[in-house]
């Protein structure tokens, strides 16, 4: 019997994305040109970068729950594009800069599809890139910017940099045309391309220093938390599609003259996949709606969600691959691409170890606060 999952966030945005993503080529298929893949160009033309941008800045002014419909449908087709980075995280970081002229102008360009900003959020503990004050309010960078997702072309990069001499950390906007230092590229399992960029000696004008001090950490943590929730939405979309394809595969393939779907052991494993999916689906839907209603909500829920999805996503992905015949038999099948997509989504905006450390630190701080109060 065929099975179709029920979307978490149904509506026109979900249906449009589902239709478009169904024809999208995988990132490794060579569907590229100098201006990016055909589907990325279509995304720019549709104005998805401006969905979360306020109307005052030329965007749509939609809620996070509304954009989640796009993320969920894209996840169903293993759409290996920097969708969350460019359409969610970048607008958040630019909007956090307040009335900075460069950021406001760029938000309008994002909404019109005339620019695309690659965000890189570096952990507080990272010292690979540092900034020192220079003349006229400008700053001088030293080190390497790690993990820039350049699967698709970007006109700018927005990133945070630590202080080299004890002064305030900064959030910086830099045009990619200003990058002259060596770039080292890496390709992920799903074909996405990230880069480590040397920024030694690069000077950033004062007008492109978007934030300084404590506001940088606040903006980075908020964007990181939202990015984690949105990649969880993508993961749930991928898991649902994997279950659909697994059930279809078992129903249409035979062994020893009978359909694979008649084997009790396989049926039990599909049930386990479905229960895991439904649990993840309910959790992610609630957290997304809560964050959409209150962007300043406790980030602990986002951390717990990402931590849970890291385990569930891997479990469902492994089951789907095994029931399709094992990795060697499935590498060209959609289920394998979905599995790789789910695994890579779990690594974006913090892996499970990052959130284990984060939650442990929060618990220790809560215990210390309670002890002092007592």
pLDDT at position 29 is 47
- Check pLDDT > 60 for residue 35: no
User: Among the three residues 179, 196, 212, which one is the final residue of a domain in this structure?
Assistant: 212
Q: Is 304 exposed, middle or buried (0-12, 13-18, 19+ CB in 10 A)?
A: middle
Distance between CA atoms of residues 71 and 14, nearest Å: 8
And the tokens for 273? 């996949």
Q: What pLDDT was estimated at residue 1? A: 60
* pLDDT value for 33: 47
Q: What is the CATH number of the domain that holds 352?
A: 1.20.140.10
My answer on whether 50 and 142 are in the same domain is: no
Query: What's the domain range around 77?
Result: 12-111
Would you say residue 180 lies in a domain?
yes
| 125 Cβ contact partners less than 8 Å away, ≥ 6 residues apart | none
Domain match, 170 and 288 both: no
Place of tokens 């045009």: 175
Q: Is the pLDDT of residue 32 over 60?
A: no
Instruction: Tally Cβ neighbours within 10 Å of residue 256.
Output: 7
Rounded Cα–Cα distance for residues 119 and 156 (Å): 9
Q: What is the CATH number of the domain that holds 34?
A: 1.10.540
pLDDT of residue 22: 84
Task: Please check whether residue 343 lies inside any domain of the structure.
Answer: yes
DSSP 297: S
Q: Token pair of 54, please?
A: 């306020």
- Whether 173 shows a pLDDT value over 90: the answer reads yes
Residue 82, pLDDT > 90, answer yes
Neighbours of 274 (CB within 10 A): 18
Helix (H, G, I), strand (E, B) or coil at 119: strand
Confidence at residue 126, expressed as pLDDT on a 0 to 100 scale: 61
Instruction: Tell me: do 206 and 155 sit in the same domain.
Output: yes
Residue 297: its pLDDT value, please?
A: 80
- Residue 208 resides in a domain: yes
Given a cut of 50, whether residue 28 has pLDDT beyond it is no
Mean of the pLDDT values across residues 314-320? 92
Residues, the chain:
374
178 with 293, same domain: the answer is no
- Same domain, yes or no: 206 and 291: no
- Determine, yes or no, domain membership for 370: no
- As a 3-state breakdown, the chain gives helix, strand, coil percent values, each rounded to 5, of 55, 15, 30
The pLDDT confidence band at residue 37, using thresholds 50, 70 and 90, is: confident
Mean pLDDT, range 103-125, rounded to an integer: 91
Residue ending a domain, among 212, 245, 276, is 212
Q: Give the Cα separation of 205 and 127 in Å (integer).
A: 21
59 inside domain: yes
Decide which of 35 and 243 is more confident: 243
Backbone dihedral angles phi then psi of residue 21, each to the nearest 5 degrees:
-70, -25
Pick from 209, 114, 121: which is nearest to 154 by CA? 114
Same domain, 96 and 138: no
pLDDT value of residue 307 = 92
Query: How many domains are there within the chain?
Result: 3
In a domain, 371, yes or no: no
Distances (CA, A) of 291 to 69, 83, 159, 299, 301: 15, 19, 23, 9, 9
Give the model confidence (pLDDT) of 120-134 as tens digits.
Answer: 998 765 667 888 888
Q: Is the dihedral of CA 343, 348, 353, 355 positive or negative?
A: negative
Does some domain include residue 366?
no
Q: State whether 340 and 320 are in the same domain.
A: yes
| Residue 372 located in a structural domain | no
- Least confident interval from 96-100, 123-127, 133-137: 123-127
333-349 pLDDT tens trace: 888 889 999 999 999 99
Q: Is residue 75 within 8 Å of residue 69, measured between CB atoms?
A: no
Same domain, 203 and 263: no
Give the residue carrying structure tokens 């962007």: 295
How much is the pLDDT for 181? 76
Residue 140 has pLDDT above 80, yes or no: yes
* Average pLDDT for the chain: 88
Contacts of 161 (CB under 8 A, 6+ apart): 122, 129, 130, 131, 139, 141, 169, 170, 172
pLDDT tens for residues 186-199? 988 888 899 999 99
User: How large is the C-alpha radius of gyration of the chain?
Assistant: 22
The SS3 assignment for 26 reads coil
148 and 126 share one domain: yes
- Are residues 58 and 179 both part of a single domain? no
Structure tokens at 163: 């202080």
Q: Find how far residue 105's CA is from the centre of its chain.
A: 24
Domain boundary among 52, 81, 111: 111
Q: Does residue 332 register a pLDDT over 90?
A: no
- Residues 331 and 223 reside in one and the same domain: yes
Structure tokens at 312: 């569930």
Residues 201 and 250 in one domain: no
pLDDT at 351 over 80: yes
Tell me: pLDDT of 329 over 70.
no
Cross-strand partners of 140: 132, 203
* pLDDT tens string 227-271: 999 999 999 999 999 999 999 999 888 888 888 888 888 899 999
Q: Reply yes or no on whether the pLDDT at 27 is more than 90.
A: no
In this prediction, residues 288-309 reach a mean pLDDT of 90
- Given this model, what pLDDT does residue 135 score? 83
pLDDT category at 114 given cuts 50, 70, 90 is: very high
pTM listed for this prediction: 0.91
Whether residue 106 has pLDDT greater than 50: yes
């Amino acid at each position: 019997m065929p099975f179709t999952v029920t979307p978490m966030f149904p509506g026109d945005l979900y249906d449009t994305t589902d239709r478009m993503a169904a024809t999208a080529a995988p990132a490794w298929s060579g569907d590229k040109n100098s201006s990016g893949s055909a589907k990325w160009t279509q995304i720019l033309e549709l104005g998805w970068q401006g969905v979360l941008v306020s109307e005052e800045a030329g965007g749509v002014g939609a809620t996070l729950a509304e954009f989640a419909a796009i993320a969920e449908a894209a996840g169903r087709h293993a759409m290996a594009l920097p969708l969350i980075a460019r359409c969610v995280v970048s607008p958040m970081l630019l909007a956090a800069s307040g009335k900075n002229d460069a950021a406001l102008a760029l938000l309008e360009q994002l909404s019109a599809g005339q620019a695309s900003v690659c965000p890189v959020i570096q952990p507080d503990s990272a010292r690979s890139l540092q900034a020192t004050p220079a003349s006229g309010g400008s700053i001088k960078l030293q080190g390497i910017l790690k993990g820039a997702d350049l699967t698709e072309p970007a006109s700018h990069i927005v990133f945070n940099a630590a202080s080299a001499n004890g002064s305030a950390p900064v959030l910086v906007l830099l045009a990619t045309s200003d990058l002259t230092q060596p770039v080292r590229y890496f390709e992920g399992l799903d074909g996405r391309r990230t880069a480590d960029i040397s920024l030694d000696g690069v000077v950033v004008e004062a007008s492109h220093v978007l934030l300084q001090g404590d506001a940088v950490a606040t903006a980075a943590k908020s964007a990181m938390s939202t990015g984690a929730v949105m990649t969880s939405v993508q993961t749930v979309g991928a898991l649902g599609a994997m279950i659909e394809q697994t059930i279809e595969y078992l129903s249409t393939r035979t062994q020893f003259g009978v359909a694979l779907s008649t084997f009790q052991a396989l049926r039990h494993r599909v049930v386990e996949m479905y229960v895991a999916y439904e649990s993840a689906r309910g959790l992610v839907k609630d957290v997304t709606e809560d964050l959409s209603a209150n962007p300043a909500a406790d980030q602990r829920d986002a951390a717990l969600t990402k931590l849970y999805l890291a385990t569930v996503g891997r479990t469902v992905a492994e089951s789907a691959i095994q029931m399709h015949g094992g990795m060697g038999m499935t590498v060209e099948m959609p289920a394998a691409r979905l599995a790789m997509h789910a695994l890579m989504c779990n690594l974006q905006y913090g892996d499970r170890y990052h959130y284990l450390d984060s939650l442990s630190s929060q618990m220790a701080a809560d215990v210390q606060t309670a002890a002092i109060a007592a």
